């Protein structure tokens, strides 16, 4: 690894021929200074990022690519969405979308290594792919990036050039738990017992669920990501102290980042490990809690598209739904409000009009109640979704349309 000035890095990047494909960390670990230097140096390039945050370059000459659309790419005119389970994205980057440049945001060097810190995800696979084709690996070294263990540790020799940038990590805006999300959290928590292994995302509903679990004991974390709710479980003594907290990326408050820094109990692994359905299935009482934009009477969930436009993507939902269903004592739960407050529409529809993200769940839960899906015939599933999940204002309409669709409903 050669540490150089920002001016020198701009010169190096300007010398890359053609229209290179660039892969950089997403979520809250984007190497923003390195991205700015790249954008100034190269007129035309392709930029692949997962869950891009606002500020990603979006101009003529930049083609945005992703398999999970974040707010920084949502609605962009030059976006190319590549559908895929998150567990398979490393393979996509090796075979179909090989990079020419990889931009990393890492810790400061220590003992000949750096750490990818809060964002492992698909980056190890991207580094392997770009080095196999003789491309560039560039790191933005930041002493404020936590040093995490597992697959996040990278030898300095794997990095070609680095710049030093001392800046705080971004944190997601705080979200207040609403009455609706609190009710959903209570209902989801009823399905989670002591000794369960958890996968939850971030947002009002996951935060509410975790807040209801502080009285449990022996809980374990095997998740795509985690945030401050897991730290609250640790403080409450709800986590099994003998088991590592395993995920692929993290984002949250400075307190969370301080907790994971050099913490031997925190293990961040590459996506193809954390999201492998077969590995997920081996976790005891694996309970996957995900949300959706819509569910329909056939117990199918849409978490990807809104009004026909890509909103997010498969992410890890499909991986964890399958893995949890195969786990001994496991459950795959979809949790969502019965009514979308911004769009002012029901989140339960007769039939999804767009692609299905996941299906065959254990439970679908809203603030209205819980529908048990697994083990019930299709008509019984639909009846429960109408009676227990849907908002009362649309139940009569759903019942009539469901009967028209051939479901035996009353």
How far CA 308 is from CA of 72, 311, 312, 352, 398, in Å, comes to 19, 9, 12, 11, 21
* Per-residue pLDDT band at 128 (split at 50, 70, 90): very high
Give me the pLDDT at residue 354, please.
81
Distance, in Å, from the CA atom of 82 to the CA atom of 67, rounded to the nearest integer, reads 5
CA distance 285 to 325: 10
* pLDDT band per the 50, 70, 90 thresholds, residue 121: very high
- What domains can you pick out in the chain, each with its CATH number? 2-164 (3.40.1080.10), 179-224+275-404 (3.40.1080.20)
pLDDT tens digits, residue range 19-44?
A: 999 999 999 999 999 999 999 999 99
CA-to-CA distance for 229 and 389, rounded, in angstroms?
Answer: 25
- 156 secondary structure, DSSP code: G
Using the predicted structure, report yes or no on whether residue 305 has a pLDDT greater than 80.
Answer: yes
Please report which helix (H) or strand (E) contains residue 282, including its range. none
Cβ 23 vs Cβ 49: under 8 Å: yes
**Helix count (H) and strand count (E) of the chain?**
13, 29
Each residue's pLDDT tens digit, 251-282: 999 999 999 999 999 999 999 999 999 999 99
222 CB neighbour count, 10 Å cutoff: 27
What percentage of the chain has pLDDT greater than the value 90? Answer: 90
Mean pLDDT of the chain: 96
What's the CA dihedral at 315, 274, 55, 106 to 10 degrees?
-170
Phi-psi region of 200 (alpha: psi -120 to 50; beta: other; left: phi over 0): beta
Looking at the annotation, which residues are catalytic?
Answer: 224
């Amino acid at each position: 690894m050669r540490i150089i000035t920002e001016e020198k890095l701009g010169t190096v990047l300007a010398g890359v021929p053609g229209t290179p494909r660039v892969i950089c960390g997403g979520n809250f670990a984007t190497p923003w200074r390195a991205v700015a230097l790249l954008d100034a140096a190269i007129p035309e390039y392709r930029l692949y990022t997962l869950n891009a945050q606002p500020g990603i370059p979006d101009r003529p000459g930049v083609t945005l690519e992703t398999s999970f659309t974040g707010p920084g790419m949502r609605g962009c005119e030059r976006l190319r969405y590549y559908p895929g389970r998150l567990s398979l994205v490393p393979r996509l980057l090796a075979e179909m979308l090989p990079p020419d440049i990889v931009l990393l945001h890492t810790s400061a060097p220590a003992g000949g290594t750096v750490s990818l810190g809060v964002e492992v995800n698909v980056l190890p696979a991207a580094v392997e792919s770009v080095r196999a084709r003789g491309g560039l690996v560039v790191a933005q070294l930041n002493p404020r990036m936590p040093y995490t263990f597992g697959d996040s540790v990278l030898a300095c020799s794997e990095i070609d050039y680095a710049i030093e940038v001392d800046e705080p990590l971004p944190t997601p805006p705080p979200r207040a738990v609403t009455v609706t999300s609190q009710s959903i959290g209570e209902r989801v928590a009823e399905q989670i017992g002591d000794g369960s292994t958890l996968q939850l995302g971030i947002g009002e509903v996951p935060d509410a669920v975790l807040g209801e679990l502080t009285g449990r004991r022996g809980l374990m974390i095997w998740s795509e990501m985690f945030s401050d709710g897991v730290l609250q479980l640790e403080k409450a003594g709800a986590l099994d102290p003998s088991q590592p907290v395993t995920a692929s990326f993290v984002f949250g408050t400075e307190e969370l980042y301080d907790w994971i820094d050099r913490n031997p109990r925190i293990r961040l692994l590459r996506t193809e490990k954390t999201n492998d359905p077969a590995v997920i299935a081996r976790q005891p009482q694996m309970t996957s809690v995900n949300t959706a934009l819509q569910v329909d009477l056939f117990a199918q969930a849409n978490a990807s598209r809104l009004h026909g436009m890509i909103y997010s993507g498969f992410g890890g939902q499909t991986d964890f739904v399958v893995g949890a269903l195969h786990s001994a004592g496991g459950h795959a739960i979809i949790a969502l409000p019965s009514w979308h407050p911004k769009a002012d529409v029901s989140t339960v529809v007769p039939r999804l009009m767009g692609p299905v993200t996941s299906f065959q769940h254990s439970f679908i839960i809203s603030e209205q109640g819980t529908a048990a899906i697994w083990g019930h015939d299709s008509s019984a599933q639909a009846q429960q979704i109408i009676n227990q999940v849907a908002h009362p204002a649309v139940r009569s309409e759903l019942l009539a349309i469901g009967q028209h669709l051939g479901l035996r409903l009353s």
